[in-house]
A and B are shown apart, each in its own frame.
Chain A
Amino acid sequence: MAFEYIPGEDFFHRRDPRAKIFMAVCIVIMSVWFNDPIWLISLFFFELILLRLARIPLSKIANFIRSIFPVAVMYFIFNLILPPVRVPDPLVMFYLVFWTVPPILPITVESVVWGIGALFRFLIILVMIRTVLMLTPIRDLILALVKLRVPPEFALAVSIGLGYLPVLIDENRRIKEAQEARGWEYEYRNPFRRLSALLTKMLIPSIANSMRRTRDIATAIESRGFGYNLRGRTFMHEIKMKKGDYTVIFVFLGLLLGAAYIRGIAIGGQLIFGLGLADFQATAIFVRAWVTTSAYTLFVGWMSLIPWNTIPFLGLIPTSYMHVEYGQYLFLLLIGFIVGLIAGIVSRGRAKKVAFALNLVIAIPLMFISFYFIWPILPNALPVFLSLGWWDALLVLNINLLIAYFLLFFITMLWPYIGSVLGTITGRFRGGKKEFFVPPEITNDLED
């Protein structure tokens, strides 16, 4: 489950939720300040050490990373193509759209370095949020929110939403089964059309059900006296800051200040505070240097023995636009290899690994398709939405956000489906793991 609390009695578990939130906020701020992949990777490992200290099994985190990996890769590719930071005189490796004059969408050494950093920032932030959720029961988080002056209504809406997640997942499984039972299936030849169908066929029943559910929850809450006296409400559990909590806050405040000093502040290229480290351009310069060293040239010399222009496709590219040196290709291949390697490690089963390649192609269009299909439904949903009171509207919003989260989750879960579809084509994976199951002997147990 996505919001799973892992009970524990160690130092980190026992901390006040506010201290945990502060810790998470510090790490998130640091990850935003840094943009150098080397520093971000170090921060990621620091986070893993914290996890280890909190006795959270790393396998749980590995599973989590596995589940968000396609989204992380999407984010990486997005940053690769459109890095938000402009660098003077980047070293272009090749152009994604090389057939136009002039070619557009360059992939540069700098954007690759930036992209790797962005990928790790993404992982750091999500793993941190997940860690806080694993360290803290939802109840304590809600209490922390209330103590931090969030209105109890809002805190309750969050709490109910999280509590309903298992119900939503179960509901979505039923919806999918109900459609499948009427011959609906994913068509592999045209994944775009089928995936859009998937979204609409799931969305209509989901939205209808969430409207009904909202009404049910609202009546249930009202009937249990919510809002009788919001200020005078008691909370069964209470949270209290202790010495250890202040220690954690103090230590992480120190780390944050240290990070601020390392990163520094520059105005107009002039450093006015700190060291100015942890910038991706430093690493980019290093990589560029490597790309142009003599050892590298030697390597390229070897590479140039290959008659590249006789290879189909590559030979078609007009050399004038091929701003690519073979070594830079190699660098790109290396990146591809690393991404592929990580994908290979995090995905289980052969079919899934094949599916991974397919998914890279599918994931990005999917994002646009989902937007495209949500818009036409809005005019129908909007009048109903507007007719609700603000309190119900809040619940609807909250629940629909969860549905959106779930859809994201669902997209991730498509992997195994596509895997099994591939399996069906080859006819090798049908029948599941039948041969591995040996039914136990049943002595006549109907008498028990």
Chain B
Amino acid sequence: MSKEPDILLEDVSFVYQGSEQPALDGINLRIKPGEIVMLSGPAGAGKTTLCQMLNGLVPHFFRGTMKGTVEVQGNNTAQHTIAFLSHRVGLLFQDPASQLIAPTVNEEIAFGAENYGVPREEIFERVDRFRKLVRLDQYAESSPHRLSGGEQQACGIAAVMAMDPDIYVLDEPTSNLDPIGSQRVLDLITQMVREEKKTMLIVEHKMEEMLPIVDRLIILNEGKIILEGTPRELLHNVQTMEQIGLKPPQVALLASRIDSNRIGSDLPLTLDEGIKAFKPLLKKGDGEPNRIGSKKTVKVGEEIIRTEKLWHVYEEGSVQALRGVDVSVKAGEFVGLIGQNGSGKTTLVKHFNGLLRPTYGDIWVMGDNTQDKTIAQLSTQIGYVFQNPDFQICCQSVKDELEFGPKNLKLHEEEIDRRRDEVAEIFGFDKRYDEKPFSLSKGERQQLAVASVLAMRPEVLIVDEPTTGQDFKTGKEMMDFYRRLNEGGKTIIIITHDMNLAAEYCNRIVVLRKGRILMDGPVREVYSQSETLARSFLRPPQITRFGQAMKDYGLPIDALNVDEMFDYVSKSLGGS
């Protein structure tokens, strides 16, 4: 008899209450004990619904119409409580902060085990063991909310492990984390996979890191499984994956575009495999590394923001967040501000519009020292779009929200109307003035937040994490919109962790590290220096690193995307 599957979904469909679109549609899935399965797909594909189905949150907590059967170790989830199922299925959520509920790390880890009536001695033993495993010993008695994002998620992992489930379900554990935080969590997951030998379902987008350790990959789109198989089998569909907004390994993408007679039938899964696959195909170059260099020059205007010896020390704990930053932004630039959490990115931009004042040093905005200006005055020059639109939206209707800024500026009524109509038109809000902002979708709320900032007509637009929490399509639309604004003459500054995003849109990169500027220059120049970037726990896109590893073979060290690299590779192949 073959072993009973740990997870079994038979023809499962689910429609949320109040929605017409099925979140899941005819899903069949079997996961064997000990199997490690990666689930991927664009936002809105139904990944979270599937995860929450496994411990009964769907349909017991999030209600709707469910068809088909879901079985966890032979238990039909429709007939068991969430508490019963959670004993078998440990679920880790995407947002680390919202799942931490105890006053200290120790109690957080113990909470699940306490609920299941595990004896006290055993709980102490588990808390010690898992807290050590996730390296949070020094925070045993501190509040989990005081930890950094990566540490919070590590605490969440320990809390799930302490429940000793047979099946782990991890729902995008790294998507809210900075590079160093997500590296830490991915390391922990890898370690769990190796040591625990338990069944695991991971929802992830970081294919480059995850593919080498998973047994099976499942791609979900619009509620259906569209691809399923071992990572190697699925790599032949990299182009399908890319079309629906996933990010397959770039070396695989590159290889998939080359005649399969030359590259072999197996596409490279990792950077190392890519290097191995391409080396025999290419000729050694003349030693000088190739550079693509900037083709088009960016038209920059006058200096718009300048800081001089900028220091900021937070009063609490006297943290030196900025330590002598000298930076100058010119009109028409598209600047990407990158660096790990706590490197001072947000602190720096908050000085531009006066939300923070320098402890030492000066900032000039359009020639005036910000010292003499209020936040309100600066807000007409510097627009700031916050990461979470829900913190910003404060009015009862779309119309009021768009008028909020201009009204604060005490403009004439006709001028307020003109600006409101102007920005409303961009995103099609002009027909929806009376709608309540909180009934809009998340993507629309983001657009509303941006529109209401644009109504101030700022010269510079600062966007904090422009694509986090958005699906691929709306994220791309927003970024293209910023690009058009930039081409129309506006200066754009984005704060991001996404190196690919920065590569695609920015023409200048500023890297911060521990409150100082580590690197500042055109994007190609910055990305070509992988070693310096690594000091800020950042790394350029895989394709750039591929070029750097193959620089002796005539490939460029500053390629930003697969297309650029393909030009070189095909030229080189054509010549041979």
A contact residues vs B (CB 8 Å cutoff): 137-139, 159-160, 162-164, 166-167, 171, 174-175, 177-185, 200-202, 204-205, 208-209, 212-213, 216-229, 232-236, 238, 424, 430-434, 437-439, 442, 445-446
Within 8 Å CB of A217, what residues of B?
Answer: 98, 101
Stretch at the interface among B87-95, B182-190, B327-335, B413-421: B87-95
Within 8 Å CB of B102, what residues of A?
Answer: 159, 163
Residue contact A222 to B86, C-beta cutoff 8 Å: yes
**CB contact list, B33-52 vs A, under 8 A:** 52
Take A224-B111, A234-B117, A236-B123 as given contacts and tell me if A139 and B104 are in contact as well, using a CB distance cutoff of 8 Å. Answer: yes
Q: How far is the CB of B363 from the nearest CB of chain A, in Å?
A: 11
Stretch at the interface among B277-285, B386-394, B567-575: B386-394
Q: How far is the CB of B574 from the nearest CB of chain A, in Å?
A: 43
Query: Which of A179, A227, A238 is B394 in contact with, Cβ under 8 Å?
Result: A179
Instruction: State whether the Cβ of B375 lies closer than 8 Å to any Cβ in chain A.
Output: yes
Residue contact B309 to A439, C-beta cutoff 8 Å: yes
Further pairs besides A228-B83, A236-B106, A439-B323: 4, Cβ < 8 Å: A181-B383, A224-B112, A225-B163, A234-B118
Q: How far, in angstroms, from A227 to B83 measured CA to CA in the complex?
A: 7
Residue contact B456 to A182, C-beta cutoff 8 Å: yes
Q: How far is the CB of B367 from the nearest CB of chain A, in Å?
A: 18
Question: Binary interface profile of B, 41-70, with partner A (CB < 8 Å = 1, else 0)?
Answer: 000000000001001010001000000000
Take A174-B386, A204-B396 as given contacts and tell me if A220 and B86 are in contact as well, using a CB distance cutoff of 8 Å. Answer: no
Within 8 Å CB of A208, what residues of B?
Answer: 390, 393, 438
Within 8 Å CB of B386, what residues of A?
Answer: 174, 177-178, 181
Question: Binary interface profile of B, 321-342, with partner A (CB < 8 Å = 1, else 0)?
Answer: 0011000000000000000000
Within 8 Å CB of A235, what residues of B?
Answer: 114, 120
> Could you count the A-B residue pairs with CB atoms below 8 Å apart for me: how many are there?
207
Take A167-B97, A201-B394 as given contacts and tell me if A437 and B353 are in contact as well, using a CB distance cutoff of 8 Å. Answer: no
Within 8 Å CB of B394, what residues of A?
Answer: 175, 178-179, 200-202, 204-205
Instruction: State whether the Cβ of B240 lies closer than 8 Å to any Cβ in chain A.
Output: no
Residue contact A138 to B103, C-beta cutoff 8 Å: yes
Q: List 23 A-B contacts (CB under 8 A).
A: A137-B104, A164-B145, A175-B394, A177-B350, A177-B355, A202-B394, A205-B390, A205-B392, A208-B438, A216-B95, A216-B98, A220-B98, A221-B101, A229-B116, A233-B117, A234-B113, A234-B123, A236-B124, A434-B358, A437-B313, A439-B311, A439-B360, A446-B516
Q: How far, in angstroms, from A202 to B456 measured CA to CA in the complex?
A: 20
Instruction: State whether the Cβ of B518 lies closer than 8 Å to any Cβ in chain A.
Output: yes
Query: Which of B117, B159, B313 is A232 in contact with, Cβ under 8 Å?
Result: B117
Q: How far, in angstroms, from A181 to B382 measured CA to CA in the complex?
A: 8
Residue contact B372 to A439, C-beta cutoff 8 Å: no
Instruction: State whether the Cβ of B213 lies closer than 8 Å to any Cβ in chain A.
Output: no
Q: How far, in angstroms, from A180 to B356 measured CA to CA in the complex?
A: 11
Within 8 Å CB of B371, what residues of A?
Answer: 430-431
Q: How far, in angstroms, from A205 to B448 measured CA to CA in the complex?
A: 14
The residue of chain B having its C-beta at the shortest distance from the C-beta of A231 within the complex is: B117
Residue contact B375 to A224, C-beta cutoff 8 Å: no
Query: Which of A167, A205, A437, A445 is B145 in contact with, Cβ under 8 Å?
Result: A167
Residue contact A209 to B359, C-beta cutoff 8 Å: no
Instruction: State whether the Cβ of B261 lies closer than 8 Å to any Cβ in chain A.
Output: no
Stretch at the interface among B191-199, B402-410, B521-529, B550-558: B402-410
Residue contact A185 to B103, C-beta cutoff 8 Å: no
Q: How far, in angstroms, from A209 to B390 measured CA to CA in the complex?
A: 7
Take A183-B408, A209-B391, A446-B535 as given contacts and tell me if A159 and B309 are in contact as well, using a CB distance cutoff of 8 Å. Answer: no
Within 8 Å CB of B453, what residues of A?
Answer: 181-182
Within 8 Å CB of B118, what residues of A?
Answer: 234
Residue contact B163 to A224, C-beta cutoff 8 Å: yes
Residue contact B391 to A205, C-beta cutoff 8 Å: yes
Take A138-B103, A182-B456, A209-B391 as given contacts and tell me if A424 and B374 are in contact as well, using a CB distance cutoff of 8 Å. Answer: yes
Take A139-B107, A220-B98 as given contacts and tell me if A437 and B83 are in contact as well, using a CB distance cutoff of 8 Å. Answer: no
Within 8 Å CB of B358, what residues of A?
Answer: 432, 434
Q: How far is the CB of B184 from the nearest CB of chain A, in Å?
A: 20
Q: How far, in angstroms, from A313 to B95 measured CA to CA in the complex?
A: 63
Residue contact B408 to A166, C-beta cutoff 8 Å: no
Interface size on B (CB < 8 Å)? Answer: 87
Query: Which of A166, A201, A222, A437 is B61 in contact with, Cβ under 8 Å?
Result: A222
Q: How far, in angstroms, from A164 to B145 measured CA to CA in the complex?
A: 8
Residue contact A183 to B380, C-beta cutoff 8 Å: yes
Q: How far is the CB of B379 from the nearest CB of chain A, in Å?
A: 4
Q: How far, in angstroms, from A222 to B411 measured CA to CA in the complex?
A: 50
Q: How far is the CB of B378 from the nearest CB of chain A, in Å?
A: 9
Residue contact B98 to A182, C-beta cutoff 8 Å: no
Residue contact B390 to A181, C-beta cutoff 8 Å: no
Instruction: State whether the Cβ of B539 lies closer than 8 Å to any Cβ in chain A.
Output: no
Within 8 Å CB of B396, what residues of A?
Answer: 204
Within 8 Å CB of A185, what residues of B?
Answer: 374-376, 408
Within 8 Å CB of A162, what residues of B?
Answer: 103
User: Which 7 pairs across A and B sit closest by C-beta, in order of nearness?
Assistant: A183-B408, A216-B98, A228-B83, A178-B392, A220-B99, A225-B115, A182-B405
Within 8 Å CB of A434, what residues of B?
Answer: 358-360
Within 8 Å CB of A442, what residues of B?
Answer: 323-324, 516
The residue of chain B having its C-beta at the shortest distance from the C-beta of A430 within the complex is: B371
Within 8 Å CB of B115, what residues of A?
Answer: 224-229, 233
Residue contact B120 to A183, C-beta cutoff 8 Å: no
Instruction: State whether the Cβ of B136 lies closer than 8 Å to any Cβ in chain A.
Output: no
**CB contact list, B94-152 vs A, under 8 A:** 95, 97-104, 106-107, 110-120, 123-124, 127, 143, 145-146
Residue contact B86 to A180, C-beta cutoff 8 Å: no
Residue contact B408 to A184, C-beta cutoff 8 Å: yes
Q: How far is the CB of B64 from the nearest CB of chain A, in Å?
A: 15
Query: Which of A159, A184, A222 is B404 in contact with, Cβ under 8 Å?
Result: A184
Query: Which of B101, B359, B376 is A437 in contact with, Cβ under 8 Å?
Result: B359
Instruction: State whether the Cβ of B384 lies closer than 8 Å to any Cβ in chain A.
Output: yes
The residue among A180, A205, A224, A238 with the most chain B CB atoms within 10 A of its own CB is A224
Q: How far, in angstroms, from A175 to B386 measured CA to CA in the complex?
A: 10
Q: How far, in angstroms, from A438 to B388 measured CA to CA in the complex?
A: 36
Q: How far, in angstroms, from A137 to B104 measured CA to CA in the complex?
A: 10
The residue of chain B having its C-beta at the shortest distance from the C-beta of A389 within the complex is: B61
Query: Which of B84, B116, B143, B309 is A166 in contact with, Cβ under 8 Å?
Result: B143
Take A163-B143, A182-B408, A437-B359 as given contacts and tell me if A238 and B120 are in contact as well, using a CB distance cutoff of 8 Å. Answer: yes
Within 8 Å CB of A200, what residues of B?
Answer: 394
Instruction: State whether the Cβ of B292 lies closer than 8 Å to any Cβ in chain A.
Output: no
Within 8 Å CB of B84, what residues of A?
Answer: 228
Residue contact B392 to A204, C-beta cutoff 8 Å: no
Q: How far, in angstroms, from A160 to B98 measured CA to CA in the complex?
A: 11
Residue contact B106 to A180, C-beta cutoff 8 Å: no
Residue contact B127 to A236, C-beta cutoff 8 Å: yes
Within 8 Å CB of B380, what residues of A?
Answer: 183
Instruction: State whether the Cβ of B357 lies closer than 8 Å to any Cβ in chain A.
Output: yes
Instruction: State whether the Cβ of B513 lies closer than 8 Å to any Cβ in chain A.
Output: yes
Query: Which of B83, B107, B456 is A183 in contact with, Cβ under 8 Å?
Result: B456
Q: How far, in angstroms, from A279 to B91 measured CA to CA in the complex?
A: 61
Residue contact B120 to A236, C-beta cutoff 8 Å: yes
Q: How far is the CB of B99 from the nearest CB of chain A, in Å?
A: 4
Q: How far, in angstroms, from A218 to B111 measured CA to CA in the complex?
A: 14
Within 8 Å CB of A446, what residues of B?
Answer: 513, 516, 518, 535
Query: Which of A139, A179, A222 is B57 in contact with, Cβ under 8 Å?
Result: A222
Q: How far, in angstroms, from A271 to B439 measured CA to CA in the complex?
A: 65
The residue of chain A having its C-beta at the shortest distance from the C-beta of B114 within the complex is: A234
Residue contact A213 to B101, C-beta cutoff 8 Å: no
The residue of chain B having its C-beta at the shortest distance from the C-beta of A211 within the complex is: B438
The residue of chain A having its C-beta at the shortest distance from the C-beta of B162 within the complex is: A224
Within 8 Å CB of A232, what residues of B?
Answer: 117
**CB contact list, B164-220 vs A, under 8 A:** none
Residue contact A166 to B145, C-beta cutoff 8 Å: yes
Q: How far is the CB of B152 from the nearest CB of chain A, in Å?
A: 11
Within 8 Å CB of B353, what residues of A?
Answer: 181
Within 8 Å CB of A183, what residues of B?
Answer: 375-376, 379-380, 405, 408-409, 456
The residue among A178, A201, A212, A234 with the most chain B CB atoms within 10 A of its own CB is A178
